[in-house]
Chain A
Amino acid sequence: MAIKFSNCEIIVDNKKILAQNATINQSNTLTPLKVIGYRNVLNNTPTDGLKNSIKIDYTPETHNEPNYIISQMMINYSYPSPVEIKVAGYAMTGYLNSYSLSLEENNPVKASVEFSIFHELTDSLTEQSSTGYLGYNNSNSLRIAHYWASQISNADYTTNGDIITLDYNFRANWQPIYKIGSSIPSQVILLGSQETFSFTSEYESNITYSGLSVQDSLVNCSKLRINNLSYDWTTTGWFPLDFSLTDGKIISHTINLSENSIVTTQAEIVKYY
């Protein structure tokens, strides 16, 4: 009997997320062993540990966004334990190595997260039980993060108001430490991370020197705040996701001229941790 998408709940750090796609990839790194005097490949030898990963595309809710919390912990040098992830019967622990958000005109925010998994996967696909919803409440779309409710502003929330689209990306650099006698790392160390903000606007802002900061170049651009849809009609319950652009450096600025369109620019701002 086929496994149905509608019966495959996805849970990250004990929070069910609204996933539209999930991909579990298992890889086994092999190198062909060639020797002199033998025409064919003698054998294949493992040259790295087992590497598995899971990528999830989902619609974030601001009050229930585990990956934002995990990435912010890493930015603040609070190294989290590997995160428990459950997908359609598969249970695994993984390390968040990328987390991205995309804000496009008039649309809900799109999120994507990828975890590296350094252990074997031994489970099999099973559908959720009819009672296995973890008390999840999705009776209203008002908690969905949305373009209409998001803004770039300075610290006192004076909005920039000129950003057309925005892509946020967080990447972590994990290093697994292996011991002799084991294909599973005994330790996984966070070496560093970076945030990248890329936004489309009509700003003209030339890069005049290396290390140009976002504050020196763009007006009212020190904070990204993503609220949920209720921002449009209530004064509470937005559960904002805040991102700081302070001290971010502009690493690229692109001017786009295209037939049948207005001229837009794209600025890319990076912060390293």
Chain B
Amino acid sequence: MESLINSRITNKDQNLYVGGDRIVGVQSVSINKNFNLGNLNYAGIGQKTVNYLPRGAQISTVNIESYLLNQDFFLNYVTGSETVNSFILKSSSDLDPPYSMLNGYLNSYSCQWAVGQIPRISTSINVLGNAGRIPTGSLGAEIIAELQLINTIYDGDSSNDDWGTILGAVTTSQDWSYLTSIITSYEDWNLGGGASSPTTGQLLIPYDGSISINIDDFQTNRVQLFNIDIQSQKFPIYNMGARQPSRVDIVYPIDVTCQFTFEVGNYESPQITDSPRYPIIEDLSLVVNDYKTDANIVTYNFNNLNLMSEDYSISAEGNNIVTVIYNTKMYGN
């Protein structure tokens, strides 16, 4: 954590890159290194000095909280078996020494949204390789090439330094009109969506009116909150003689849980004895677009979502609220 001691991750000197993409809208990054040491205890140790030795995989866990802006940078890594290198750089032109997190995999992802808020992504990277401020001289040629690519794509625009300040203000105020006024004046800034960004050089921001949920119950019932949670099982394959795995495999199924909270319009609550004879199965299409241009940021399509639970609540203080949780399993090749 040496590079994070004196500044926040949203500070201008801390930019997060994952798989070559600069992650726009990062709110927090926390890195935990587990050296996985255990003490060596033995019969007759007496009062000798206790020694420690490795007793498990040495993994660093990187937890990331980010607004969903421009594009979803993480979803493909969660549902695939690809590993990814991540870096925290002062800027795209200042690469040495980078805070590197090498050979990581993602197996946890959630996207949360509530009325009046920008959707937030929470994910974590399990880093199997080295992690820390590694001098470029100790990085392999492939890593150096990746850093050079970052430099080529993103170098030269220091105006994005204020991006964290903008989002920080919005987080505090939760005032969409305030954000709109700021974005209008800053929309020409190059905020670094990355080479794969749908509109590099332009910021795509979702808001209530640009989010559409296509599922039968929610055509007339007012959704207040959704949470999409995806968990995949990844297996690092270790081979004798190596402290880092040779590869990471994904084992299907991928678990998808979708939670919706809505104010009831004409919603008909299911009877519990109807399950499993009359299962409630829905297909979900959730589209998140830019509030202004309607450019697509991300689309979630899930089929065969099974209703797992329903929470029906009535209170004197508010409207009739229902929370439903769906689950499905995804298989791949």
Please report A residues at the B interface, Cβ cutoff 8 Å. 5-10, 16-20, 22, 58-59, 87-88, 103, 105-108, 128, 130, 133, 138-141, 144, 146-152, 159, 161-166, 202, 229, 232, 260-262
* Contact B36 A144, beta carbon cutoff 8 Å: no
Q: Is B173 an interface residue (CB 8 A)?
A: no
B276 touches A (CB below 8 Å) = no
Complex contact A161–B249 (CB within 8 A): no
The answer to whether B243 and A106 have CB atoms under 8 Å apart is yes
Residue from A8, A106, A165 within 8 A of B43 (CB atoms): A8
Point out the residues of chain B lying under 8 angstroms from A144, CB to CB. Answer: 40, 53
Known: A106-B238, A149-B241, A166-B240. A20 touches B54 (CB 8 A): no
Give the Cβ gap from B193 to chain A, nearest Cβ, in Å: 36
A159 partner, pick from B46, B55, B241, B243, beta carbons under 8 A: B241
The answer to whether B184 has its CB under 8 Å from any CB of chain A is no
Contacts of B240 in A (CB 8 A): 103, 147, 150-152, 163-166
Could you tell me if B48 and A138 are in contact, using CB atoms closer than 8 angstroms? yes
Interchain CA distance A108-B58 in the complex, whole Å: 13
Given the contacts A105-B57, A138-B51, A144-B53, A6 and B242 also touching, CB distance less than 8 Å: no
Q: Knowing A150-B241, A163-B239 are in contact, say whether A141-B46 is a contact too (CB < 8 A).
A: no
Contact A164 B238 (CB under 8 A): yes
A58's partner among B42, B48, B235 (CB-CB below 8 A) is B42
With A106-B56, A146-B53 given, can you name 14 additional A-B contacts, CB distance below 8 Å?
A7-B44, A9-B44, A22-B43, A58-B42, A59-B40, A107-B55, A108-B55, A133-B46, A133-B48, A138-B48, A141-B53, A147-B241, A261-B251, A262-B251
Across-interface contacts of B52 in A (CB, < 8 A) = 141
Measured in the bound complex, the distance between the Cα atoms of B42 and A8 in whole Å is 9
> Closest CB of chain B to A210's CB: distance in Å?
28
B333 interfacial contact with A, CB 8 Å: no
Cβ contacts under 8 Å, B46 to chain A: 6-7, 9, 128, 130, 133
How many residue pairs between the two chains, A and B, have CB atoms under 8 Å in the bound complex?
A: 108
Note all chain A residues with C-beta closer than 8 A to B56. 106-107
Residues of B in contact with A, size category? 20 to 34
Residues of A within 8 A of B53 (CB): 108, 141, 144, 146, 229
Residues of B close to A262: CB separation below 8 A: 235, 237, 249, 251
* Partner pick for B41 among A20, A105, A140, CB 8 A cutoff: A20
Q: Which A residues touch B239, using CB under 8 A?
A: 161-164
List 16 contacting pairs A-B, 8 Å CB cutoff, sorted by A: A5-B43, A6-B41, A7-B44, A10-B44, A18-B42, A59-B40, A59-B42, A105-B238, A106-B54, A108-B54, A128-B44, A130-B46, A133-B48, A139-B51, A161-B246, A262-B249
> Bound state CA distance, A138 and B40, in angstroms?
10
| A-chain residues with CB within 8 Å of residue B237 when the two chains form the complex | 164, 202, 262
Contacts of A141 in B (CB 8 A): 40, 51-53
Residues of B within 8 A of A (CB): 36, 40-46, 48-49, 51-58, 233, 235, 237-243, 246, 249, 251
Query: In angstroms, how far is the closest chain A Cβ from the Cβ of B52?
Result: 7
Q: How far is the CA of A165 from the CA of B237 in the complex (A)?
A: 11
In Å, the complex CA distance between A6 and B45 comes to: 5
Closest Cβ of chain A to B43, distance in Å, is 4
CA–CA, A139 and B45, complex, Å: 11
Return B302 CB to nearest CB of chain A, in Å: 21
B47 to chain A, nearest CB (A): 8
B54 near A146 with CB under 8 A, answer yes
Contacts of B241 in A (CB 8 A): 147-152, 159, 161
Chain A residues with Cβ below 8 Å from B243 are 106, 148, 232
- CB neighbours (8 Å) of A18 from chain B are 40, 42
Chain A neighbourhood of B57, CB < 8 A: 105-106
A10 with B43: CB separation less than 8 A = yes
In contact, A8 and B41 (Cβ under 8 angstroms): no
**CB atoms of A20 and B43 under 8 A apart:** yes
Q: Which chain B residue lies CB-closest to A56? A: B43
A148/B54 contact (C-beta < 8 A), A164-B237, A164-B239, A166-B240 known? yes
Chain A residues with CB under 8 Å of B246's CB are: 161
Q: Measured between alpha carbons, how far is A159 from B51 in the docked complex, in Å?
A: 30
